[in-house]
Amino acid sequence: MEARILGEFRAVVGKGLITEASQLHTYECDGLTNMRILPQAVLLPTSTADVQAIVRICQREKIPFVARGSGTGLSGGALPVENGVLISLARMNRILEVDLPNARVVVEPGVVNSDVTLRVASHGYFFAPDPSSQSVCTIGGNLAENSGGAHCLKYGFTTTHVLALEVVLPDGSIVHLGSRALDRPGYDLPGIFVGSEGTLGIATKVVLRIVKKPAVIQTLLAAFNSTTEAGAAVSGIIGAGMLPAAIEMMDNLAIQAAEASVHAGYPNCGGLLLVELDGPAAEVEYLMEQVGEICTQCGAWEIRVAQSDAERAVVWKGRKAAFAAVGRISPNYIVQDGVVPRTALPKILGEIERMSAAEGLRVANVFHAGDGNLHPLVLYDRRIPGQEERATELSINILRLCVKFGGSITGEHGVGAEKTTMMGEMFAEPDLETMQLVRCAFDPEHLSNPGKVFPRTRLCAERTGPYQPHPLEVAGVAQFF
Amino acid sequence: MGTHSSSHASIVRPSIAAVEAAWSDLRALVGAEHMRTSMLEDTVDDVLPQMFIEPGNPEEVAGALKIATGAGLQVIPRGGATQMGWGNPPRSGDLILSTRRLNRVVEHAWGDMTATVEAGCTFQQLQQTLAEHGQRLALDPLWPDQATIGGILATNESGPLRVRFGGLRDLIIGITLALPDGTLAKSGGKVVKNVAGYDLPKLVTGSLGTLGIITQAIFRLHPIPRESRTLSFSNTDSGTMNAVVLAIQDCNMVPTGVQVRAGSSSTPEIDLRFEGTAAGCEAQIEQTLRIASGARRIESPADVWNARSTLWSGAEPSVVCKFSLLPAELGTFLTLIRKSSEPLQLPWRLVAQAVGVGYLRLEGNDTGALLSVLQDLRKNLETRGGSLVILRCPLEIKSKMDVWGSAGDALALMRSIKAQFDPTGVLNPGRFIGGI
């Protein structure tokens, strides 16, 4: 990068400019570590004005930029672009305002997710989105990916809890999307911005909604001989008209990993179910009894109900540590994120088992059973030639299966850099072209996190009709991904 | 050809031959029996479009839009026609496109708690189908027997259930949209949890048909509660009322309705609803009685959760508007309405939900007085992050006051979105915010 431009960046952020190769390596990937690109520079702004000044320079010089929070994303959403800069929002980490009567909190994007809850917990409130990485991931990253978590079954996703945003658009202008009150007239711009994976601009201030902590929370743990039996219990619970705060399932391999790692004390079983109910005491107690009965009817041979916060923490410990725990039983593994309609869970689990046996690769299953969000963990050993490729192929084939069952290629990790080629399997060309209209309205020059989410760059000027294949495609010479 | 009296001189009208050719193409597309010349009741504000068509499937909707766009005609989408008074007067309109023949509940995947429904299906028809498996779309829009899913989405309708289940943006998970160029595009999907691609279902919700015509939507569902209990309170003043409403929300109860009713000739009343198990409802009612000890319990009026709809009837002329504000400011707002309307002797009534969304009816013969109160209230609300949107009023008011209010510094971005989806301004021209 030209010294002239670096000088301009330095004038904005001072020491918050990193160009040393050794330091840049810290930022070469996010939680998806098999994709790495070294950015030209990393910038650490401390204010909206800084971000605006940086983006204006990028806009003038046509330098692509990528925003980053804590870098815990699992789809490569914060993967730098080769000829671009990385803008880390880690230093914009202040909680600006807490408005309890209206249940609103105003934060900068670098605030850590669980710090919001920590700040309001003494008043009985919490911030509902709870990705497993919540003790390190930032609000900015959460809103880029529209993060979920175990409790989104009842409480919704990040988008449910974001009311308004201050955003620096790719042209360097500052706009305010949404409002502190609901239903601001006009298009629902926070609705389209949240989950856009950093491709529409950079949020510099966020108005969040917080939720009152329920009167009572109880978590039931039930051990079954198989995930099929556990799955039947899930259907029974939903069928009885209940909406639990969370329903999580783990298969035997995932349980083994959790035990090896954090000694959660889980029973050694074929299918483990965690069901959390919350609400008024009288209601939770009554319904928890029913949940227990349904589990027993479906074959549960051990049931424990955790009532205190300490007991619940123990029950959740193994589940929350499950991804990392797999490292204890396999040198390498791929974390996948797919969704199927909940009733298709038994079928897809059977298929995954079959595919896993055929490939000779183990797959551990940890999933949000209430909403059909699967996290298959494909275990492999990089040292064995060809195994990484086969593991990748297997994990992609699992996603294809999700699409086949009417589901999605991602429930909460995002498309990022990892799954851009899968978008074409889930959506038809007119669907992708239509989404692109939004991109063109916000970022016609594709400067903000280019190359993410969509399979290929489309020029904004050409407002095309139905998709026309390129002559090279027709000739079989080239292929668009 | 219907054109608003104050229409922009810059609108280039298509030639008569081009229009005739378009009518003929449209007739061939949807069948002559589904196309007619408009009648007086098809008027939108003071614009009477020339033709009315009713396509029979999503492809026909897209095809009709493509023909209209090609001929330079403007299209006004319509569902159950319950909210046609919404928005600013159209700059022009040639064709009313009704979605009423797209009226199927395509799929109720009750095991997955989702439903796929066509845009022209009435809300009531959808709910009746879902109830067969003990489920519902947790929303309570106005006039459910007439209002269609498409219209409800386009106007972002919501009622008392919002306090517990959120608005449409929290319930919609997938959409199919017909664009002016004839593209039929899907976004979202059939699963509750899905972050693949941009969230067009949210963008389209509340867009008043200005980006495309919704042909199908997919929703997440909730179980029909086993029990439901309502209780009501009367308060001496708006301060007590607001304190009770805030106290209810600041404890850990889970009401599915917290509503305030007030008016120029009555003291504020509060309605509360709890749903779930009988034990849960009873326990929460007990807790409520302790919290609301400063208020007097009254018998809940019949059909109280539909109270909002009564604001559409009464002495004329009148204005009905929707307001939004921060929940803690409802009491102050009531005082402001009193202060603003009393000197001008304008009777008013309102129904507000505790989430900070409410509906207000003002009555009076003096347009100037109505305008003065509306402007006063809007200014106050907008300063505090809220808004005031006029939903129904005499045309004279619309000519003097924008019905939407300010879009702030995001207006340019909204215009740019509109320009991408509808570059030649085919859909509902001028009816949306900022003249979009």
Judgement on whether residues B183 and B138 belong to the same structural domain of the protein: yes
Residues of B in contact with A339 (CB under 8 A): 191, 193-194
- Which residue, of A38, A57, A88, is where some domain finishes? A88
What residue numbers bound the domain in which B250 lies? 227-400
Domain count, chain B: 3
Judgement on whether residues A200 and A223 belong to the same structural domain of the protein: no
- The pair of three-digit structure tokens given for residue B140, joined into one six-digit string: 């309570």
Judgement on whether residues B172 and B270 belong to the same structural domain of the protein: no
Q: What's the CA gap between A365 and B294, in Å, rounded?
A: 54
Q: What's the CA gap between A243 and A211, in Å, rounded?
A: 17
A473 touches chain B (CB under 8 A): no
Q: Average the pLDDT over B378-401 and give the result.
A: 96
A169 touches chain B (CB under 8 A): yes
In the structure, what pLDDT confidence band is assigned to residue B8 with cuts at 50, 70 and 90?
A: very low
Q: What's the CA gap between A445 and A201, in Å, rounded?
A: 12
- pLDDT at position B11: 59
What residue numbers bound the domain in which A199 lies? 95-212
Buried-exposed string A201-230: b where 16+ CB fall within 10 A, e elsewhere: bbbbbbbbbbbbbbbbbbbbbbbbebbbbb
CATH assignment at residue B94? 3.30.43.10
- pLDDT at position B5: 43
Q: Record the pTM.
A: 0.94
Q: What's the CA gap between A222 and B64, in Å, rounded?
A: 55
- B138 lies in a domain? yes
Judgement on whether residues B236 and B299 belong to the same structural domain of the protein: yes
Q: Which residues pair with B76 in a beta bridge?
A: B96
Among the ranges given (A248-257, A259-268, B171-180), the one the predictor scored with the smallest mean pLDDT: A259-268
Q: Average the pLDDT over B413-423 and give the result.
A: 97
- The pair of three-digit structure tokens given for residue A171, joined into one six-digit string: 């042209």
Judgement on whether residues B269 and B319 belong to the same structural domain of the protein: yes
In the structure, what pLDDT confidence band is assigned to residue B373 with cuts at 50, 70 and 90?
A: very high
- pLDDT at position A446: 95
Residues of A in contact with B421 (CB under 8 A): 434, 437
Read off the pLDDT of residues A138-153 as tens digits, 9 standing for 90 and up.
999 999 999 988 888 8
> Which percentage of chain B shows pLDDT scores above 70?
97
**Interchain proximity B276–A279, CB inside 8 Å:** yes
Q: Are A448 and A199 in contact (CB under 8 A)?
A: yes
Q: Average the pLDDT over A441-452 and give the result.
A: 96
How far, in Å, are A247, B150, B151, B203 from residue B212 at the CA level? 37, 11, 12, 11
Judgement on whether residues B82 and B16 belong to the same structural domain of the protein: yes
The candidate with the shortest Cα–Cα distance to A127, out of A146, A100, A105, A153, is A105
Q: What is the largest CA-CA distance in chain B?
A: 73
- Give the neighbor-by-neighbor strand order of the sheet with A41-43: A17-18, A41-43, A85-88, A65-68
The candidate with the shortest Cα–Cα distance to B279, out of A291, A47, A282, A281, is A282
**Residue-by-residue DSSP string for B311-331:** GG-SSSSEEEEEEE--GGGHH
Task: Of A106-110, A225-229, A233-237, give the range with the top mean pLDDT.
Answer: A106-110
- Which residue, of A194, A212, A230, is where some domain finishes? A212
A186 touches chain B (CB under 8 A): yes
**pLDDT of residue B128 exceeding 80:** yes
> Which percentage of chain A shows pLDDT scores above 90?
80
Q: Average the pLDDT over B172-176 and give the result.
A: 98
Write the residue in B283, B414, B423 that is nearest to A187 by C-beta.
Answer: B414
In the structure, what pLDDT confidence band is assigned to residue A241 with cuts at 50, 70 and 90?
A: confident
Judgement on whether residues B65 and B178 belong to the same structural domain of the protein: no
In the structure, what pLDDT confidence band is assigned to residue A473 with cuts at 50, 70 and 90?
A: very low
For residue B95, the surrounding DSSP H or E stretch is strand B95-98
Residues of B in contact with A175 (CB under 8 A): 409-410, 412-413
Judgement on whether residues A248 and A159 belong to the same structural domain of the protein: no
Judgement on whether residues A124 and A34 belong to the same structural domain of the protein: no
Judgement on whether residues A277 and A292 belong to the same structural domain of the protein: yes
Judgement on whether residues B171 and B40 belong to the same structural domain of the protein: no
Q: Are A339 and A408 in contact (CB under 8 A)?
A: yes
A386 touches chain B (CB under 8 A): no
Judgement on whether residues A27 and A111 belong to the same structural domain of the protein: no
In the structure, what pLDDT confidence band is assigned to residue B237 with cuts at 50, 70 and 90?
A: confident
Binding-face residues of A in 396-415 toward B, CB within 8 A: 406-415
Judgement on whether residues A384 and A236 belong to the same structural domain of the protein: yes
Judgement on whether residues A179 and A223 belong to the same structural domain of the protein: no
Judgement on whether residues B233 and B381 belong to the same structural domain of the protein: yes
Q: What's the CA gap between B64 and B56, in Å, rounded?
A: 11
Domain count, chain A: 3
How far, in Å, are A79, A128, A161 from residue A413 at the CA level? 14, 17, 18
Q: What's the CA gap between A453 and A144, in Å, rounded?
A: 11
Q: Are B261 and B307 in contact (CB under 8 A)?
A: yes
Cβ neighbourhood burial of A310 (10 Å; 0-12, 13-18, 19+): exposed
Judgement on whether residues A226 and A300 belong to the same structural domain of the protein: yes
Judgement on whether residues B83 and B150 belong to the same structural domain of the protein: no
C-beta pairs of A118-127 under 8 Å, 24+ apart in sequence: A119/A95, A120/A210, A121/A213, A124/A212, A124/A213, A124/B250, A124/B252, A125/A100, A125/A210, A125/A211, A125/A212, A125/A213, A126/A210, A126/A211, A126/A213, A127/A161, A127/A208, A127/A210, A127/A211
Judgement on whether residues A49 and A105 belong to the same structural domain of the protein: no
- pLDDT at position A461: 60
Q: Average the pLDDT over A348-372 and give the result.
A: 92
Q: Tell me, what's the ipTM?
A: 0.96
Read off the pLDDT of residues A81-103 as tens digits, 9 standing for 90 and up.
999 999 999 999 999 999 999 99
Read off the pLDDT of residues B333-370 as tens digits, 9 standing for 90 and up.
999 999 999 999 999 999 999 999 999 999 999 999 99
- pLDDT at position A322: 84
- A187 lies in a domain? yes
- B406 lies in a domain? no
- Which residue, of B41, B69, B99, is where some domain finishes? B99
Q: What's the CA gap between A58 and B275, in Å, rounded?
A: 53
In the structure, what pLDDT confidence band is assigned to residue B7 with cuts at 50, 70 and 90?
A: very low
Judgement on whether residues A260 and A319 belong to the same structural domain of the protein: yes
- pLDDT at position B293: 84
Read off the pLDDT of residues A174-209 as tens digits, 9 standing for 90 and up.
999 999 999 999 999 999 999 999 999 999 999 999
Give the type of residue at A167: V
Judgement on whether residues B240 and B388 belong to the same structural domain of the protein: yes
Judgement on whether residues B236 and B201 belong to the same structural domain of the protein: no
**pLDDT of residue A303 exceeding 90:** yes
**pLDDT of residue A308 exceeding 90:** no
- The pair of three-digit structure tokens given for residue A415, joined into one six-digit string: 């498309």
- B76 lies in a domain? yes
**pLDDT of residue A479 exceeding 80:** no
- A440 lies in a domain? no
- Which residue, of B64, B99, B134, is where some domain finishes? B99
Q: Which residues pair with A363 in a beta bridge?
A: A378
Judgement on whether residues A379 and A302 belong to the same structural domain of the protein: yes
Cis status of the peptide bond prior to B317, with omega within 30 of 0: yes
Residues of A in contact with B411 (CB under 8 A): 186
- B407 lies in a domain? no
- Which residue, of A376, A404, A432, is where some domain finishes? A404
- pLDDT at position A271: 95
Judgement on whether residues B382 and B317 belong to the same structural domain of the protein: yes
Give the Cα-Cα-Cα angle A454, A349, A267 (nearest 5 degrees): 120
